[in-house]
Amino acid sequence: MGALQGLKVIEFAGLAPGPFAAMMLADMGAQVLRIDRPQTRFRPLEPRFNLLDRNRRAIAVDIKTPQGVELVRRLTQTADALIEGFRPGVMERCGLGPDELLAVNPRLVYGRMTGWGQDGPLARLAGHDINYIALTGALDAIGQAGEPPVLPLNLVGDLGGGGMYLAFGMMCALWESTRSGRGQVVDAAMVDGAASLMTMFHGFLAAGKWQGRGTSPTAGAAPYYGVYETSDGQYISIGSAEQPFYVELLRVTGLADEELPDRADRREWPALRERLAAVFRTKTRDEWDTLLGQTDICFAPVLTLQEAPQHPHHRARNTYVEIDGIMQPAPAPRSSRTKAKTPSAGVEPGIDLAAALEGWGFSATEIEVLRSSGTAS
C-alpha cells in the first residue's frame, strides 16, 4: 500500500504546489486529510478533473472561528505533518501557526509552501511561477539566443521548485524526527527551489562555459541536440550529443557518405542544422519513429498529451492509468516492495464526514456534533 502507509498529513487546500506535494505523499500511501474553506474555493476544473487532489478525502472547516481552530488543533494531536500555502502570517493570525501547533504536538513537521519564502523583502508580496523563476535566472536561461525567454509551463517554479521540494523537505524532517523526537518548520519557497534546480548551470557559469540563453549544446544551440519538423508538420527530438550516437544517426539517415559540416566547429552548426532539417522533412514523424525508435541515436517522437499514454513503452510500464474515465500519470517513482497506491479520485467535503475523519480519533458522537454544529462538513 505504499512506503508512507501510516503517515498522517493535514493539508490546507491551495493551488498547484501544495496539492502537488500532498498528492506525492498520498500516492505513496500517506493518509492525507485536506481542509477546505466552507465556501466554494476557486477551482479551474470540475472536482473529478482535479487530479492533484487524488487519493485523499476532505472536510470543510472555517479556521476563522474558535470551533474551527479547535478542530484543527485536535487533528494536529495525531498528525505527523501539516501542509499550508498561505502568505506568511496568515496561519499565525488564525492561531494555527507553528508555535501553537508544535505546542500541541512537538513531533509535528510543519510544511510551509510559498513563492518568496517566510522572510525577506518580497515575502509578503503576491507572485506567480513566472515571477519566481524570473528572479532566479531560470527563466532567462530557457529559450533560443536572440529571442525572448520561453515559459516552461509552471513546471520549474510551482511543481519542480515548489511542490517537489516541499515533499522532499518534509520527508527529511520526518526522518530526522524519528531520531530526535522533535518536529520543525519546513520553509519551502519556490524561489529557493527554482534556484536550486539551476545549481549545475551555476557551475557552468563559474567555469566560463555558460554564454547565455540558447548557446549551450543541450539548450538547442547544437544541431545534433534539438527538435526537428517532419513532413507531416509533426516533430521529433534528436539527442545525439555523444560521438557514437551521432555516427549512428548519420548511418541510419543515410548521411554517413556525405561530406557534412564539422559538428565540432560551432561556426558550422547553422549549415549542419539546415542539412539535418532537410533530411527530417522527407518523412513523417511516425516513419522516423519506425526507422530510429529502436536505435541508440537518442531519439523520440514529440508526442501530444493525448498521444503519450498510448506509446508502447508507457503501456508496457503502466506509466499512465485510467481512473473513472480519466487518463492520468501513475504515481512515481516506483518501489520494488512497497507499491504505490492505485490512484482514486479525491473526495470533496460534505460527501462523508465520518469517512473523512476515520483514523483521526473521533467518535461517531463527536463527528455528529461537528456536523450538526456546522463546525465541519
Alpha helices, DSSP H only, in 29-123?
66-77, 90-93, 98-104
Q: What are the respective helix, strand and coil percentages of the chain, to the nearest 5?
A: 40, 15, 45
Of 158, 187, 192, 289, catalytic: 158
Nearest-angstrom CA–CA distance, 331 and 311 = 18
Measured between its terminal Cα atoms, the distance across the chain in Å is 28
Q: Are strands 31-36 and 320-323 parallel, antiparallel or unpaired?
A: unpaired
- Check whether the bond before 333 is cis (ω within 30° of 0): yes
- Write out the DSSP string of 158-181: IIIIIIIHHHHHHHHHHHHHHHH-
Q: Is 158 designated active site? A: yes
Query: Cβ–Cβ contacts within 10 Å for residue 34, how many?
Result: 26
Of 128, 140, 286, 311, catalytic: 128
Closest CA to 79 of 161, 7, 183: 7
Task: Please give the positions annotated as active site.
Answer: 128, 158
